[in-house]
Structure 1
């Protein structure tokens, strides 16, 4: 994330200090800004105190930082907010899709709203991403409290902007070819020169990942799965109330501690939030700073110092938002289409063709049917092959308690039914759901609350309710309940 400083009447369109900040190459951007005659600095949890002091006393034109470090500046007693942040007029958020689909995005929006209280005026927000399937919705999300009140524009292929007569928005000035890309999670693909052909090898190393990859490619070139912010971020609201109190000094600026300085011997290696030191975790307490793990040996609460020694692993320094790791309804349905014979419009290796044929010959007859979903019985193992995705299947299991196995783990493809389930009992359960009008939130293991950052700020009931709302997929459930079902015994 990059924040650009300037005067209140600065022109973002003409000022080179609004240059986007590539997250993968901050050092290169710093050199580029220096070459342009602009000062730029990098500030994050590993930044030494001497450099932090220099940033506070001589604010740069551009500051590359993180939402967490920005919040630390807002609540820090050493920071002159007006001097350091009062001149900010633009914030560039790189890889905005990574924020929008996670609790860290809600945290970012809250911090930006608090930053505007310091500047006394709206701040231009610029989000960058090559992997957004719903750019208009992401633009509205990034506007935060200003949504519907301030003008905004999403520049993306196939998206008409203000004044555009055609079906595609005009590209921004310069030799830039914006395009949507099909990118699976945890992968990044580079761009390409104008006029060249897209070329990428997608490697699947197991039978299951082959089917998932084929489903991705079946959706066609240019398809990107929509990013949806996690619902009901109650824990973030509670945390932001505390942080805003520190920033505004309305209740007392010494009631809660600010960032702690982390020391290995006499060497400062960075800073960490007090929540990392206070949250309940089994075993030795570990931190992740400076690209390696550390074990906490002593905490000086009065002087806000943490002493550590090197450790082999187990450090904590990242967000855990309680998000769902399974596949979406869209991708699960695409996997079903592949098993039914649909081939992705790409070149397949001999191994990939043989793997798909094996899937279709050996597994498809017992898992998919072109006329609807299947309920199969192998002895006492009864499975409803919904191909509805992880969240929808978890919701189905909670909605149909009379026929679903109460001790099952949700999967992407099927729901385990009770061994005494019969077609008559299943139909009665579906009628009890009233065609999708009487749905139930999924069950949540109370132990899962530990993975929700700032969950300690909520009651157990509210924390569990937050996770349940994030696990539910009511649209996917309604589609599964409306589909014809065949019952087969093997």
Structure 2
């Protein structure tokens, strides 16, 4: 019997007659049996691969067959915009069966929230943060409102799993499972990942091993061609020139990996007469919706975006995807590539535009990995002790009081912190006033009330930090937010800022309320946001090394300009790479160890050198993803001897070595300040290591070279 035949007859009818489908897509067909059977599942397909329907059609069929009542299915996603985008579609599917669906997140009005408590939707689309807000709410009883939940669909689960939001998600699901008194069926939707079995095991949490689990990942659909091209344009202005000249009359989605570059590129395109829209996280929700709607309805236009449009938000049929530089991972490349090729007879396509040599080399390396079939594994962050502390406070809010020694039972054995450290964590929270205790029960203390009590403890529900920002207003319309420094830098004449792809003149700033009042202006505005540069992975840096040694990605169109430029780079950088060993290069009175190991491996190697031979290290500069800076007077053979000493002291994977952690970096770890300082520093240090990558480097040995 086919998957389609297993669906509820009403769902079958509407698939054929309302949607006009002749059949289900492979993923949808293969997902029906395991989801209907109650298995936990991970459904893998490219963007627009039909994952939402693959989960919902059997889940709605099961809801009807078993007569689930109340809010029985949660649909969780990482972005409010994605939920808004899905609401109408999910609501339509639910109404086939006389059921309802609704969205609940930070932008949902109080009236809608009250209706959802009285008339509980069968499917609730929400974020983990909003779900936790319901668990701790003083205005609704989660033991009633959420008592009927039986299944959870987690969209873009790979986007959760790689950072602390993933642990927060799992912890909230464990608390909800305990509250309902039943295991919750968990279905994850994801783009292609390198370790799907591990990802599903992680998503299962306490369901493992009691609940069956299956990865559903059908063979890629035949007939979908892939067209990837790489060009060298030399500058941001060069990129704008190419984009404005190519593919006229088509809808183009252009990705850039910083908000500043998005704004600059959008401004340059508009100066060239291109209808341009903008989407990034610092724009207001209304501004993003306006831009995305205008782009969706347009034909000859470009929308420039950060990763906000990577996660499946529908902006209509796209003709082209453009990428300024290169994303940091193959997984991200696949996600963006998958935005195209949705219409029959069209190809998945991407044009990468490198603005400088570093971008060109990174793009070559990424495409080499793609051509080799490599996709990064999604690895949960290690030992999120700060999330354990946050969950303890949230539990105390939810239940009023929790057992000082029994509270971990709510979290289903999740490895948020070593079990032996949990009593000390409670002692610290009591000692700092975040918790009070009475007869073995813990409850919210005055310090938690003081720090997090505003807006119904909303700040306690979010596990990621946000930089101090100023809201930009044109009249009563919110445009977005900017870094305060863009409003403080000295300027001659009117202060112009760039936001939403347009220039604005700043008329006044209310620093008390963090608001800037603007009006449209001509000329180029300044765009700036704070943020740290991402560390590149060992796999990507090693691929860049192999490119410099002559490797080329298969199946990629390389323009003549890009070919010529990479040939120059191979010639200029030849002394920095070696087929067998790493390179210590003396050049222009500088000594650098070219490891090509990735940022986390280099952090570990730098720390290990500091132990075995600290005089090797430059006191003013440290390392990046491809090299480590050494003192200029390092003698011949000394680095090789230090590497051998590292292996002798710590073994081939450098066990026991931890990188130094900057106190300012600890401040970027949400809730680190409710941990003991040493615990917070160690938590962050554990995230800055790649022992396998560092071990690969020390195993290869060192060759020394001199230039000039």
Tell me the TM-score normalised to structure 2 length: 0.56
- Give the aligned partner of residue 204 of structure 1: 354
**C-alpha distance in 1 between matches for 2:537 and 2:701:** 21
Partner of 1:419: 632
Q: CA deviation at 1:336?
A: 0.4
Deviations 1:221-277 (A, max 9, x none): 44321111111101000110111111122244786557744xxxxxxxxx8724599
- State the Cα distance separating 1:86 from its structure 2 match: 0.8
SS at match of 2:214: coil
The reply on whether 1:483 has 2:700 as its aligned counterpart is yes
Q: Paired residue for 1:220?
A: 370
Q: 1:65 aligns with which of 126, 129, 133?
A: 126
**Which residue is 1:383 aligned to?**
592
CA distance in 2, matches of 1:407, 1:472: 22
Question: What is the match of residue 11 of structure 1?
Answer: 62
In the other structure, the counterpart of 2:87 is: 30
Q: Given the alignment, which residue of 557, 575, 580 partners 1:371?
A: 580
Q: Secondary structure at the match of 2:624?
A: coil
Matches of 2:100 and 2:653, distance apart in 1? 58
The 2-side partners of 1:40 and 1:282 are apart by 34
Which residue in the other structure is 1:436 paired with? 652
Whether the aligned pair in 2 keeps the contact of 1:183 and 1:189 (CA below 8 Å) is no
| Distance in structure 1 (CA, Å) of the matches to 2:175 and 2:479 | 30
Quick one: structure 1 residues 254 and 77, their matched pair in 2 at CA, closer, same or farther if it must change by over 3 Å?
A: farther
When the two structures are aligned, how many residues end up with a matched partner? 438
Q: Which protein is richer in helix relative to its size?
A: 2
Deviation at 1:196, TM superposition (A): 6.0
Aligned to 1:471: 688
In the TM superposition, what are the counterparts of 1:168-317 in structure 2 within 5 Å? 182-184=331-333, 187=336, 189-190=338-339, 192=341, 197-221=347-371, 222-250=373-401, 251-252=442-443, 256-257=448-449, 260-261=454-455, 273-275=458-460, 292-293=480-481, 310-311=515-516
Q: Secondary structure at the match of 2:658?
A: coil
What's the counterpart of residue 246 of structure 2? none
Structure 2: gaps spanning 5 or more residues: 1-51, 221-328, 402-441, 484-511, 519-529
1:389 shift after superposition: 0.4
What SS class does the counterpart of residue 593 from structure 2 fall into?
Answer: strand
Aligned counterparts of 2:191 and 2:467: Cα–Cα separation in 1: 39
SS of equivalent to 1:121: coil
C-alpha distance 396-130 of structure 1, shift in aligned 2 (>3 A): same
For 2:669, which of 452, 461, 464 is the aligned residue? Answer: 452
CA contact (8 A) 2:74 2:151 kept: no
> 1:299 maps to what in 2?
none
Give runs of aligned pairs for residues 76-95 of structure 1, distance below 5 A.
76-95=137-156
Once the two structures are superposed, residues 80-111 of structure 1 have per-residue CA deviations (whole angstroms, 9 ceiling, x without a partner) of 21321111111111111110101111111101
Aligned partners of 1:95 and 1:129 also within 8 Å = yes
Q: How much does 1:425 deviate?
A: 2.3
428-437 or 189-198, larger mean C-alpha shift: 189-198
1:436-475 alpha-carbon deviations (Å, 9 max, x no partner):
2544111111111110011111111111111111001111
1:90/1:123 contact within 8 Å kept: yes
Q: What is the SS of the residue equivalent to 1:199?
A: strand
Q: Tell me, which stretches of 5 or more residues in structure 1 are unaligned?
A: 160-179, 262-270, 296-306, 314-319
Q: Is the 8 A contact 2:76 2:128 kept in 1?
A: no
